[in-house]
Structure 1
Amino acid sequence: MSKEFIEHRLNMNRRRFLSRLSLGVGSVALGSLLIPDLFSGKEEDAVMAGLPHFAPKAKRVIYLFQNGAPSQLDLFDYKPLLQQMHGQDLPASIRMGQRLTGMTADQKKFPLAGTVFKFDRYGQAGAYISELLPHTAKIADDLCIVKTIFTEAINHDPALTFFQTGAQVGNRPSMGAWVSYGLGTENKNLPSFCVLLSKGKGNGQGVYSKLWTNGFLDSTYQGVQFSSGEHPVLYLNDADGITREDRRKMLDKLGELNEESYKEFGDPEIAAKIQQYELAYRMQTAVPEITDLTKEPESIVKMYGPECLVPGTYAANCLLARKLSENGVRFVQLYHQGWDGHNNLPGEIVGQCKDVDQASAALITDLKQRGLLDETLVIWGGEFGRTNYCQGELTKDNYGRDHHPRCFTVWMAGGGIKPGVYGETDEFGYNIAKDPVHVHDFHATILNQLGLDHEKLTFKHLGRRYRLTDVSGKVVQGIIT
């Protein structure tokens, strides 16, 4: 044998050995959760079950992400002082030289903009909620309204990526992928991580697959995007002339070939591919039934609103999220675009709120009446907040707001989260006055509710152990029951 061939064989053996050595709680082991008995009977490929680090308070998550950044000052963080000082310049002592976006960096003045919308207090905690969210106001006693989330990112792409992956740069596993990696699936016929998209009536910001990527984790953990078309999951159906029996035979033969390749090279992506093919086969039966919303009773349709029967709308996605969640999907991620209120914010936010208010509240009510809210953590919010000063020209009834990362509002419900209002901002709604919650703290708390220690949920990549919270984050004990 040639020297080159011997070296090639040695490299293959080293790769296989090192891969196997690192897979104990990583790639193939936890990746195989989608098919628990895939390699049964072979000790070297034995599958480990995904187990939480401690008793969880939530089994799954539904994340209603409002892409583009809703204005907390027009929805949840009522500041009468802004009405009183409408049009006056924001004091420099409040702004403290904060970094600005390119859209307002050249402004010589920063005129304060009081909201044009009325607020009232709701629930036992007396939470301020805008007139734009009448349905949300009715479920105030189920919500934990966190007013003091903050981030370092000041532009959409890094801020959005940070919320979804724990890093402002790409190629990191998304939160849903981390949860799938840590806990596996509850239903082997459905993905453990599903993604739903909808577009609102306002100025939109794009969403892209890096937000639900598996990053350096096995591809098994990547989010599966559902579409609003005739086929909710693309390429799932068999081609014309292919029977289910034909598909089964093809997958069996393909599985045998892939398993031989896995034995030879130990590449975890080979095992992941086998699992994905098998999952797609099982989804052919499960997905059409789950995504058929026409069989929902009239009372449910009335609760979510008539748009819930229109595929691709926010209301339809909220209803679908409930169905996916109750059927064991660990992490359902919704993205609703249209919240980028730089101009004509009062006009655009009315339509946005009409899109999401009824369906968001219905989701909470629906989960609660089914006995699922206690074990399902629901989250609503965007990537940062909106400034208390106007971007561009200010009038009495019209204004725009720039990006504001220093403090903004996210609400949470269910999953062992304590209802009420958490955190306080200053009288200008510009800085945090009490109980700051960084994005890493937010992530640590979500994982905690799922029974996962954010410091222990790690994956070794390029010589370093990574985690969703990087090297930071602490659980926010004040919002946990």
Structure 2
Amino acid sequence: MGHHHHEPKEKPSLKVNRRHFFSQLSIGIGSLALGSLLIPDLFKGPSNEAKALGLGVRHFAPKAKRIIYLFQAGAPSQLETFDHKPTLRKRMGEDLPESIRNGQRLTGMTANQDKFPLMPPKIGFQQHGQSGTWISDFFPYTAKIADEITVIRSMHTEAINHDPAITFFQTGSQISGRPCMGSWLSYGLGSENKNLPSFVVLTSRGKGNSQGLYAKLWSSGFLDSKHQGVLLRSGKDPVLYLNDPEGLSRSDKRHLLDHVSSLNKLHHVETGDDEIESRIAQYEMAYRMQMSVPDVMDISKEPEHIIKLYGEDCQVPGTYAANALQARRLAENGVRFIQLYHQGWDQHGNLHEEMSGQAKDVDQASAALVLDLKQRGMLEDTLVIWGGEFGRGNYCQGKFNPDNYGRDHHPRAFSIWMAGGGIKPGLNYGQTDEFGYNVVENPVHINDFHATLLHTMGLDHEQLIYKYQGRRFRLTDVAGHVVKDILA
């Protein structure tokens, strides 16, 4: 092929790779197609280095070492959980005043209603703890930890449908494709345990109306693929395709990996593609996880009092209670970000019955997790979060029916709770109007929520940056303020 000119060997950019590639293969559509098959990431664009942050560098002393996020997918109603509104009882069946609704965008499910009859919850509310936190009778176990949790009643978002709303919560954008929070934390802080991923996802499903969950919610987006969440499934194969085929010994596997690795390294020298190094690292991680994951997932060693604390369900793989106990075991083993999703909170009808079941699924185990972490001295550096993607409306969806009512999506105001990890305990933060419809005090936007989470982990959300396609990206995009009032 004759002599060809090489650029200096610093870090070959894609241009060099292409030139090199084309000089090796006769140029033509066939070779282009072949190239893209052989090296799938060939035309992806130059690799990115973090311009602002070295891995594992915190901007200030962290309060939290890890986060366990108990995500209630489908959006539990704030009016049946933590936002007590006696006015709804007094004015049951009356039309929601237009001055309160104020022309708010509605979903297709209620946009055609001419009346918005106010509907109080059928469940009772009591005050609990020294903090006097109002908690509905659906959550007797959470009520017992009222003084450990901070309830934020002033969350709000722009998204009005599930998919953009849950994507917004996980990635800071309603549009798919951005890295999720767990990936940002993995990127910013690296891993604590080389035998386990720094970011793990567990899912469970209640009997209520379920929305889909998609892998994009734990995707690393444009960050290196080693930062994506690893989904652990219930049952005998927690990670798909992790086990070796029959007859392959551990030493055979090691031998195979070493050979594959040396081939990949040669390939990396030729192409300069950073994803190849990622792939090598992923193979190595999978090899180590073959030993570490079954061990962490084996709850047979847990003592009886812990099983009692989380409830009998924690012995049934795939339940929320089992996942909550797994979350504590993963946290103990150095996993930085553990995301639980519990589906079934989308109550457009039959709300009282369905929410009763959903609350039973999660109430005892959520409280148990906080108490368990506390008794181990881990709550102070573990941030636990409980909440969904938006709230629910204070009026009946469809015709007024106090016996069987549902609530439509409501992005303007909803409640979540947080505990441990540098958050003040026993606080009630933010307030909605007497109808539970609009935030009237201390609003907290999703960008603020993300800024605060990163802050507890010792990261400045304005400095955790990744340059991609000529733009500097952050989890909080171009917004977000740390909610200092809730920090211990």
**Counterparts in 2 of 1:387-402, with a 5 A limit?**
387-402=393-408
2: CA distance, partners of 1:281 / 1:275: 10
Report how far residue 396 of structure 1 moved.
2.9
Which residue number in structure 2 is paired with residue 453 of structure 1? 460
| Percent of residue pairs identical | 61
Tell whether 2:454 aligns with 1:441. Answer: no
Tell whether 2:79 aligns with 1:73. Answer: yes
Gaps of 5+ in 2: 18-43
Which residue number in structure 1 is paired with residue 169 of structure 2? 163
2: CA distance, partners of 1:24 / 1:14: 12
Q: 1:63 aligns with which of 65, 69, 72?
A: 69
Report how far residue 8 of structure 1 moved.
11
1: CA distance, partners of 2:280 / 2:380: 35
Task: Tell me, yes or no, if the aligned pair for 1:16 and 1:266 is still in contact at 8 Å.
Answer: no
Q: 2:475 aligns with which of 468, 477, 481?
A: 468
**Cα 1:301–1:425, aligned 2, differ >3 Å: closer, same or farther?**
same
Task: Tell me, yes or no, if the aligned pair for 1:16 and 1:267 is still in contact at 8 Å.
Answer: no
1: CA distance, partners of 2:101 / 2:47: 49
Which residue number in structure 1 is paired with residue 271 of structure 2? 265
Corresponding residue pairs, total: 461
**Counterparts in 2 of 1:67-466, with a 5 A limit?**
67-419=73-425, 420-466=427-473
Report how far residue 53 of structure 1 moved.
1.1
3-state SS of the aligned residue for 1:401?
coil
1: CA distance, partners of 2:47 / 2:481: 28
2: CA distance, partners of 1:391 / 1:436: 26
Task: Tell me, yes or no, if the aligned pair for 1:454 and 1:467 is still in contact at 8 Å.
Answer: yes
1: CA distance, partners of 2:468 / 2:45: 14
Report how far residue 16 of structure 1 moved.
8.1
Query: What amino acid does structure 1 have at the position aligned with 2:161?
Result: N
Gaps of 5+ in 1: 31-47
Query: What amino acid does structure 2 have at the position aligned with 1:427?
Result: E
2: CA distance, partners of 1:25 / 1:90: 50
1: CA distance, partners of 2:395 / 2:274: 52
Task: Tell me, yes or no, if the aligned pair for 2:49 and 2:467 is still in contact at 8 Å.
Answer: no
User: Could you give the per-residue CA deviations for residues 439-461 of structure 1, whole angstroms, max 9, x where no partner exists?
Assistant: 00000000000000101111111
**Cα 1:208–1:24, aligned 2, differ >3 Å: closer, same or farther?**
closer
Which residue number in structure 2 is paired with residue 25 of structure 1? 50
Task: Tell me, yes or no, if the aligned pair for 1:120 and 1:128 is still in contact at 8 Å.
Answer: yes
Which residue number in structure 1 is paired with residue 59 of structure 2? 53
Query: What amino acid does structure 2 have at the position aligned with 1:479?
Result: I
2: CA distance, partners of 1:241 / 1:182: 40
3-state SS of the aligned residue for 2:300?
coil
Task: Provide the aligned C-alpha RMSD in A.
Answer: 2.2
2: CA distance, partners of 1:243 / 1:22: 36
2: CA distance, partners of 1:22 / 1:316: 40
Tell whether 2:22 aligns with 1:15. Answer: no
Report how far residue 2 of structure 1 moved.
6.6
Report how far residue 260 of structure 1 moved.
1.8
Query: What amino acid does structure 1 have at the position aligned with 2:50?
Result: V
Report how far residue 152 of structure 1 moved.
0.3
* TM-score computed with the length of structure 1 as normaliser: 0.92
Task: Tell me, yes or no, if the aligned pair for 1:145 and 1:409 is still in contact at 8 Å.
Answer: yes
Query: What amino acid does structure 1 have at the position aligned with 2:398?
Result: G
Query: What amino acid does structure 1 have at the position aligned with 2:461?
Result: H
Report how far residue 13 of structure 1 moved.
3.8
* TM-score computed with the length of structure 2 as normaliser: 0.91
2: CA distance, partners of 1:211 / 1:14: 30
Task: Tell me, yes or no, if the aligned pair for 1:16 and 1:265 is still in contact at 8 Å.
Answer: no
Query: What amino acid does structure 2 have at the position aligned with 1:128?
Result: W
2: CA distance, partners of 1:51 / 1:383: 30
Task: Tell me, yes or no, if the aligned pair for 2:202 and 2:232 is still in contact at 8 Å.
Answer: yes
Report how far residue 169 of structure 1 moved.
0.7
Report how far residue 387 of structure 1 moved.
0.4
